[in-house]
Amino acid sequence: MNTLVIVLIAAVCLIAGYTFYGSWLAKKWGIDPKAKTPAVAKNDGQDYVPTDGWTVFAHQFSSIAGAGPVTGAIQAAVFGWVPVLLWILIGGIFFGAVTDFGALYASVKNEGKSMGLLIEKYIGKTGKKLFLLFCWLFTLIVIAAFADMVAGTFNAYETVDGITKLSAQATVNGAAGSISLLFIAFAVVFGLLQKKLQWKGWKEMVLGLACTVAAFAIGMNVPLVTSKATWTYLVFAYIFLAAVLPMWLLMQPRDFMTTFMFAGMILGAVVGLVVAHPKMNLPMYTGFHNAASGDLFPILFVTVACGAVSGFHSLVSSGTSSKTIANEKDMQKVGYGAMVLESLLAVLALCVAGAAASADGTAAVGTPFAIFSSGVAGFLEMFGIPVYGAQCFMTMCVSALALTSLDSVARIGRMSFQELFTVDDMEHAAGWRKLLCNKYFSTIVTLLCGYILTQIGYANIWPLFGSANQMLSALVLITLCVFLKVTGRENRTLFPPLIIMLCVTFTALVQRLIAMVKAISAAAATAIPAGETTWGAVFIANGLQLILAILLIVLGLNIVFHSVKGYKASEKNSEKAAV
């Protein structure tokens, strides 16, 4: 089948979903353009900052469009492209966009409260503590997986047969790394200028585009060729700054600049598919069971997380975006719109991978990032863009997909850790509690734990990330059901995705737990020659994941129990006049 036809079908479905279903939800829930949003009422210049709707959209999309839509869609294609496409479209319209929009809506209607504080209000303090712990553990997994991806993308060296040497892509990877560092510097300059000049509309776009072009122009000519370990340290230094600096100074301007890149990447992929209209070479359906990945249920639904439905998105919606919405009329665009655009990105990634596959259906060799990057770079070269420029651009784009999620999740992880120990009267709280709630200390603890988990490697931790991510979406849906019930709003449409995601995630986590126990048992039964550290490697790769999986299952069950209890105890319409 022609990939162009697939993209057109997907685009029509997603646009229709936004226009009809998204607007229906907005009408049912109620949007008040005259209401004073938390960003306006609590403007502090740090987290609560009234911001133009399209800038908030750029932040939301840049934050949620991480590695997931590319990595998940391409990895899940082992089951065939039809199941992946169907899940992206159905999940994106009826699961993911509803969750993202709902989390943003509930937060804006509750003074910009994060999801943890919303759970405290609607389910109880115990539910809040359990959710915040679950959320914090989840952010560690995301930090570990995405930081490892980014450092690996910029790495200039490769190890072949025990020998480490410069890779063929050393200059391109180093240039992409330099561009990324310059992006940070120019983002701060952009943020400071924008704070002083208060430019809007085309002036803001010109300034952002100029900073973006400058970062590329300089970075491509000054590649930073260094090791993965060095890049890991640099990545963690950046996300530390992103977690503690004011939103307007680094994250918002960087996300705004990154949106230009993403727009160019998506446009390049779309135009490339239009001009070349390559054939979808991947098989339509390969069967319910895959020898390497497992069964289609639940693996497909946790592998394609971002792009269909992702609990992480709700943390962005309620953690950062809700605090910058200046007018309620922007909520559908930011919450629902950013998600359906990410679903389109996932479809594009699937089509690029399908075009890169051989005629007999054999998938292209390489990581999902590499396949997508080289595929779109090939399209850009068709339009006369030099090979080096196209490769640098796409390497930077795929790394930015992970980086823009990393900075958001580091901030959310810090906030979750703080909320775990926050009490109402912090002024008279004990010294140890004040220390744990200090934003610098909580950030260091979060990033240190995330760094330890990077030793597992993203390929090993990704299945656990997918399962935890989808469980998080189910827990958010439960909270939204309670919120909508007590405020007298429509919540029946949330029950089907809620039940499905609970079944998917608990099945996937239990399967993952069993697989890790088997791996550790097999290693324990194997004789290890003296001087080798196989056992240590096995424990790092599986033991830490086993501990995390058990914690996530126990926490998830407890949260579900308290949530169901809270839903039954809640009274319909009890807050209708208040919210």
Q: Which stretch, 143-152, 451-460, 462-471, has highest mean pLDDT? A: 143-152
Three-state DSSP at 165 gives strand
Please tell me the predicted confidence (pLDDT) of residue 537: 59
- Whether residue 380 has pLDDT greater than 60: yes
CA distance 362 to 398: 23
CA distance 235 to 555: 30
pLDDT confidence tier of residue 532, bands split at 50, 70 and 90: low
Cβ atoms of 56 and 325 within 8 Å: the answer is: yes
- Whether residue 544 has pLDDT greater than 80: no
- Whether residue 83 has pLDDT greater than 90: yes
Please tell me the predicted confidence (pLDDT) of residue 465: 77
Three-state DSSP at 131 gives helix
Count Cβ atoms below 10 Å from residue 61 Cβ, excluding itself. Answer: 23
Residues 6 or more apart in contact with residue 121 via CB below 8 angstroms: 110, 113
Token digits of residue 357: 């596959």
Instruction: Give the pLDDT mean for 172-186.
Output: 93
Residue 107: closest CA among 530, 371, 479 = 479
Q: 425 or 579: which carries more pLDDT confidence?
A: 425
Interval 23-55: pLDDT, tens: 999 999 999 999 999 999 999 887 898 998 988
Interval 200-213: pLDDT, tens: 778 888 988 999 99
Interval 125-173: pLDDT, tens: 888 888 888 889 889 988 988 898 889 889 999 888 778 888 888 999 9
- Whether residue 458 has pLDDT greater than 70: no
Please tell me the predicted confidence (pLDDT) of residue 14: 97
Residue at token pair 């220390």 = 435
Residue 417: closest CA among 433, 400, 401, 430 = 433
Cβ atoms of 298 and 504 within 8 Å: the answer is: yes
Instruction: Give the pLDDT mean for 110-136.
Output: 88
65-69, 78-82, 207-211, 223-227: least confidently modelled range: 65-69
Burial of residue 21 (number of CB atoms within 10 Å: 0-12, 13-18, 19+): middle
pLDDT confidence tier of residue 457, bands split at 50, 70 and 90: low
Q: What is the 3-state secondary structure (H, E, C) of 420-435?
A: HHCCCCHHHCCHHHHH
Query: Which contiguous run of DSSP H or E holds residue 295?
Result: strand 294-295
In this structure, which amino acid lies at residue 505?
T
Interval 247-304: pLDDT, tens: 889 888 888 888 888 888 888 888 888 888 899 999 999 999 998 888 999 999 999 9
Cβ atoms of 402 and 67 within 8 Å: the answer is: yes
Q: 226 or 524: which carries more pLDDT confidence?
A: 226
In this structure, which amino acid lies at residue 190?
F
DSSP assignment of 446-484:
HHHHHHHHGGG-HHHHHHHHHHHHHHHHHHHHHHHHHHH
Report the sign of the C-alpha dihedral through residues 438, 444, 448, 454, in that order. Answer: positive
- Whether residue 93 has pLDDT greater than 70: yes
pLDDT confidence tier of residue 539, bands split at 50, 70 and 90: low
CA distance 35 to 33: 6
Token digits of residue 48: 């609560």
pLDDT confidence tier of residue 541, bands split at 50, 70 and 90: low
Model's pTM, two decimal places? 0.87
- Whether residue 67 has pLDDT greater than 90: no
Instruction: Give the pLDDT mean for 373-396.
Output: 90
Please tell me the predicted confidence (pLDDT) of residue 5: 94
- Please provide the distance, in angstroms rounded to a whole number, between the alpha carbons at the two ends of the chain: 49
- Whether residue 551 has pLDDT greater than 80: yes
Please tell me the predicted confidence (pLDDT) of residue 577: 46
Token digits of residue 456: 């597992």
Query: Which contiguous run of DSSP H or E holds residue 343?
Result: helix 338-356
DSSP secondary-structure letter at 383? T
DSSP assignment of 522-539:
HHHTS---TT--HHHHHI
CA distance 475 to 103: 11
- Whether residue 401 has pLDDT greater than 90: no
- Whether residue 183 has pLDDT greater than 70: yes
Cβ atoms of 487 and 278 within 8 Å: the answer is: no
The mean pLDDT value of the chain amounts to 88
Instruction: Give the pLDDT mean for 457-483.
Output: 82
- Indicate left, alpha or beta for 32 from its phi (over 0: left) and psi (-120 to 50: alpha): beta
pLDDT confidence tier of residue 454, bands split at 50, 70 and 90: confident
Residues 6 or more apart in contact with residue 506 via CB below 8 angstroms: 471, 553, 556, 557
pLDDT confidence tier of residue 527, bands split at 50, 70 and 90: low
Instruction: Give the pLDDT mean for 3-19.
Output: 96
Query: Which contiguous run of DSSP H or E holds residue 289?
Result: strand 289-290
Residues 6 or more apart in contact with residue 331 via CB below 8 angstroms: 26, 31, 101, 104, 105, 108, 325
Please tell me the predicted confidence (pLDDT) of residue 326: 95
DSSP secondary-structure letter at 78? G
Interval 426-453: pLDDT, tens: 888 888 999 999 999 999 999 999 998 8
Interval 323-363: pLDDT, tens: 999 999 999 999 999 999 999 999 999 999 999 999 888 99
Residue 413: closest CA among 158, 239, 155 = 239
